[in-house]
Chain A
């Protein structure tokens, strides 16, 4: 299967601050990819590198087989909705659609008009007067009417109330079902991501911590509770993501091919949210202490 995004050793540095380091990943076609991580982890940087708004300071990234924004033909195939779903406050909805039609060679006017109608929006309405949910829907409409093969969304639902959020995700999933486009969307809401995504990238401390199909990630991560013992005494096939100890008990989050039955421990499946949190915690702790020990456990 061809990769839609292929990053190798990708990095971005702003002055002395490294926003993204040594990012190697491959996004297969037709996936809806969730990008999750704490604020400042490099999520927006990665999305902006993918759409060509930023250029890497190290490594390389290819999108749809080309360097991002290397040609107008390539740009026409990539849709990007920036954080807070920006629109032009003084322009009407109709103006936005007109702008979209003039700027995009693959513009689907019928789709754009149908969506505005479905949403019950008045084309004469100025974007500045729309609610947060309506503005997000307008930004999504512009991005999907461009008929992109890859749609990048930077925290599109962060500012929306639950009803508007559900409406937005419904529209997004309808678009995916209709076009089989690849989508990458960043969010803090793991429950949303679990619902709409089939692939996940956990980004923390400017590095990729975990990546893969959500079903595979869930099938290979476990919580293991046992009498106090050191992580290095666990079987060789288990990689420890996180370890917590009390004076008597040890709790590990481990990555393993299957659960291993052993009377001396309890090994249970892990919810996606806990899985994400354990990778984020590990990244935070290793980043703070600069302990190389845990780095080798990857």
Chain B
């Protein structure tokens, strides 16, 4: 069983914080297929957050195919977050480095590069939804 926490000043919506923590636990191997997530009531009471927030997080995880609810029993992990092996990151990293060099060559400063990357990242994630 995992435990949740909420960082009030992080600027990330509380339900998203719970979603991140489950994803993280899956990556770290703290949760695997068949494990039960804490009960909504227990999370609400332990963390002192609105039970609807917990439900919203669990629904989001369900939409991502990572968990599924069994009525009357609880919410169970059904998916895995299979990250690709580190070795396969390398070609992507090199490509990104070449892109960064081009951006700098075009006269973009660090903040502009960051803004451009984040905006593109966000809009492409939104398109995928």
Contact = CB atoms under 8 A, between A and B. Distances in A.
Nearest to A169: B48
B51 A173 contact: yes
Interface of A: 30-32, 166, 169-174, 176-178, 191, 194-198, 215, 218, 269, 271
Instruction: State the majority secondary structure of interface residues on B.
Output: helix
6 nearest A-B pairs in the assembled complex, by CB-CB distance: A174-B45, A177-B41, A177-B51, A169-B48, A173-B44, A177-B44
B13 A170 contact: no
Interface residues of B, number: 18
Given A194-B14, A195-B6, A32 B50 contact: yes
Contacts of B9: 191
Interface centre among B13, B14, B50 (most CB of A within 10 A): B50
A212 B45 CA distance: 24
Given A170-B45, A171-B45, A194-B8, 9 more contacts: A31-B52, A170-B47, A173-B47, A176-B44, A176-B50, A176-B51, A177-B45, A195-B48, A198-B53
B91 interface: no
Interface of B: 6, 8-9, 11, 13-14, 40-41, 44-53
A196 B45 contact: no
B13 A215 contact: yes
A195 B13 contact: no
B8 A195 contact: yes
Given A194-B14, A195-B8, A166 B48 contact: yes
A19 to B, nearest CB: 29
A191 to B, nearest CB: 5
Given A218-B13, A271-B11, A196 B41 contact: no
Contacts of B6: 195
B13 A173 contact: no
Given A194-B14, A195-B14, A218-B13, A173 B8 contact: no
